[in-house]
A = this chain, B = another copy of it.
């Protein structure tokens, strides 16, 4: 695929062909997304660099993480499509707002906690 719009269209077509659109209501897609986030979390759960030599080689971990990140991305794309959200625009807007909320001068080296 060449870009995000292309991937979105491809996934939409994929869903339509299989008559899976009926499963793709927001709640179902969010639950599916949570499932994939769980798989990603599982990969890193015991991988605390401060206490643990990696149980998985870096290459293997990167490869598996790539698959889970892709799965999350796909469900996110589908959810955005169903909810008629322009992912790129929405994220761009949020990043611009973060730049305003966290001025460099005030936040250098400080974690962006709201607390």
Residues of chain A whose beta carbon lies under 8 Å from any beta carbon of chain B: 1, 3-4, 7, 10-11, 14, 17-20, 22-23, 25-28, 30-42, 44-52, 55-56, 60, 62, 65-67, 69-74, 76-77, 79-80, 83-85, 87-88, 90-95, 98-99, 102, 104, 107-113, 115
Q: List 7 A-B contacts (CB under 8 A).
A: A7-B95, A18-B107, A30-B44, A32-B46, A36-B38, A65-B83, A74-B95
Main secondary structure of the interface of A (DSSP, over half): helix
A18:B69 contact, CB within 8 angstroms: no
B27:A35 contact, CB within 8 angstroms: no
A115:B56 contact, CB within 8 angstroms: yes
Known contacts A25-B49, A55-B115; 5 additional CB pairs below 8 A are A22-B52, A30-B40, A34-B41, A34-B42, A37-B37
Q: Which residue of B lies closest to A17 (CB)?
A: B104
B90:A23 contact, CB within 8 angstroms: no
A73 to nearest B CB, angstroms?
5
